[in-house]
Amino acid sequence: MKGKPVLIIVILFTSIFSNCLKDGDIKSIFESYIPEQLNDGWEISTPEHEGFDSDKIHRVYEKVFSEDIYPTMHSLLIVRNNKLIAEAYCRDQKERDQFHNLQSVTKSITSILMGIAIDKGFIGSVNKPIYDIIPEYFDNDIRKRNITLYHALTMQTGLDFDNDVNTEELYTNAENSLEYVLSRGLIFLPGTDYHYNDGDPQLISGVIQKVTGKSEEEFALENLFNPLGIDYYQWEKHRDNTTFGAFGLWLKPRDMAKIGKLMEQNGFWDGEQIVSSEWVEESTALRIPSDYYGYYWHNIEHDTGAIYAVGHGGQYIYIVPHVNLVIVTTADPYSDMGALSEDFHIIFNDIIDAIIY
Amino acid sequence: MKKRIVFIIILVFLKSGIAFPQEENNNIFGFTIGFTEYQVKEKVLNNIRHRGMFFSGGLFYEKIKEFSYQKFELYMIYNKLKSRYDPDKATTAVNLSLNYMYAKKVKDIKDDFCFFLGGVIGLDSYVSFYDNWDDSHGYWLTSYYLGLDAILTYQTSDKSSLFIEFNTPVVALISRPPERILYKMDNPGFSSAIKKLHENLRLTSMHQHFVLNINLGYTFQYFNKFKQSIFWRFMYLDNNMTYSKKINILIHTLGTSFRF
Going from N- to C-terminal start, the domains of chain B cover: 2-259
Q: Please tell me the least confidently modeled range out of A5-14, A57-66, A294-303, B53-62.
A: A5-14
**Contact (CB<8Å) B46/A168:** no
pLDDT over 70 at A101, yes or no? yes
Residues contacting B247, CB < 8 A, separation 6+: B40, B41, B42, B43, B139, B141, B176, B237, B238, B239, B240
Q: Please tell me the least confidently modeled range out of B60-69, B74-83, B141-150.
A: B60-69
Q: What is the pLDDT of residue A118?
A: 98
Contact residues, chain A, for B89 at CB < 8 Å: none
Q: Please tell me the least confidently modeled range out of A23-32, A193-202, B231-240.
A: A23-32
Tens digit of each residue's pLDDT (9 = 90 or more) over A249-296: 999 999 999 999 999 999 999 999 999 999 999 999 999 988 899 999
Q: In angstroms, what separates the C-alpha of B24 from chain A's closest C-alpha?
A: 25
Q: What is the pLDDT of residue A331?
A: 96
**Contact (CB<8Å) B49/A20:** yes
Q: What is the mean pLDDT of residues A141-168?
A: 96
SS (H, E, C) chain A: CCCHHHHHHHHHHHHHHCCCCCCCCCCCCCCCCCCCCCCCCCEECCCCCCCECHHHHHHHHHHHHCCCCCCCEEEEEEEECCEEEEEEECCCHHHHHCCEECCCHHHHHHHHHHHHHHHCCCCCCCCCEHHHCCHHHCCCCHHHHHCEHHHHHCCCCCECCCHHHHHHHHHHCCCCHHHHHHHCCECCCCCCCCCCCCHHHHHHHHHHHHHHCCCHHHHHHHHHHHHHCCCCCEECECCCCCECCCCCEEECHHHHHHHHHHHHCCCEECCEECCCHHHHHHHHCCCEHHHCECCCCEECCCCCCCEEEEECCCEEEEEEHHHCEEEEEEECCCCCHHHHCCCHHHHHHHHHHCECC
Q: What is the pLDDT of residue A5?
A: 58
Q: What is the pLDDT of residue B226?
A: 83
**Contact (CB<8Å) A18/B164:** no
| Overall CATH class of domain B2-259 | mainly beta
Q: What is the pLDDT of residue B9?
A: 45
A11, A14, A68, A239: which to substitute to probe chain B, counting the most B Cβ within 10 Å?
A: A14
Contact residues, chain B, for A233 at CB < 8 Å: none
Q: What is the pLDDT of residue B64?
A: 86
pLDDT over 80 at A301, yes or no? no
**Contact (CB<8Å) B133/A334:** yes
Q: Closest chain A residue to B180 measured between Cα atoms? A: A101
B184, B212, B239: which to substitute to probe chain A, counting the most A Cβ within 10 Å?
A: B184
Q: Please tell me the least confidently modeled range out of A17-26, A67-76, A228-237.
A: A17-26
Q: What is the pLDDT of residue A7?
A: 66
**Contact (CB<8Å) B46/A24:** yes
Q: Chain A contact for B8, CB < 8 A?
A: no
Residue B13: band (very low, low, confident or very high) from pLDDT cuts 50, 70, 90:
very low
What Cα–Cα distance (Å) separates residue A347 from each residue in A65, A71, A153, B5? Answer: 12, 14, 29, 46
Q: What is the pLDDT of residue B18?
A: 29
**Contact (CB<8Å) B3/A336:** no
Q: What percent of chain A has pLDDT over 70?
A: 94
pLDDT over 90 at B25, yes or no? no
**Contact (CB<8Å) B134/A332:** yes
Q: Please tell me the least confidently modeled range out of A98-102, B110-114, B184-188.
A: B184-188
Q: Side chain identity at A271, as an amino acid letter?
A: G
pLDDT over 80 at A31, yes or no? yes
Q: Chain B contact for A10, CB < 8 A?
A: yes
Q: Side chain identity at B210, as an amino acid letter?
A: F
Q: Chain A contact for B193, CB < 8 A?
A: no
pLDDT over 90 at A86, yes or no? yes
Residue A305: band (very low, low, confident or very high) from pLDDT cuts 50, 70, 90:
confident
pLDDT over 60 at B21, yes or no? no
Q: Closest chain A residue to B39 measured between Cα atoms? A: A21
A172, A315, A335: which to substitute to probe chain B, counting the most B Cβ within 10 Å?
A: A335
Residue A99: band (very low, low, confident or very high) from pLDDT cuts 50, 70, 90:
very high
Q: Which residues in chain B (48-77) have CB-CB distances under 8 A to chain A?
A: 48-49, 51
pLDDT over 60 at A180, yes or no? yes
Greater model confidence, B111 or A14: B111
pLDDT over 70 at A194, yes or no? yes
pLDDT over 50 at B239, yes or no? yes
**Contact (CB<8Å) A167/B185:** yes
Tens digit of each residue's pLDDT (9 = 90 or more) over B158-217: 778 899 999 999 999 999 999 888 777 777 778 888 988 999 899 999 999 999 999 999
Q: What is the pLDDT of residue B12?
A: 38
**Contact (CB<8Å) A10/B156:** no
Q: What is the pLDDT of residue A211?
A: 98
Contact residues, chain B, for A9 at CB < 8 Å: 152, 164
Q: What is the pLDDT of residue B22?
A: 52
What is the average pLDDT score of chain B? 87
Greater model confidence, B11 or B107: B107
Q: What is the pLDDT of residue B259?
A: 87
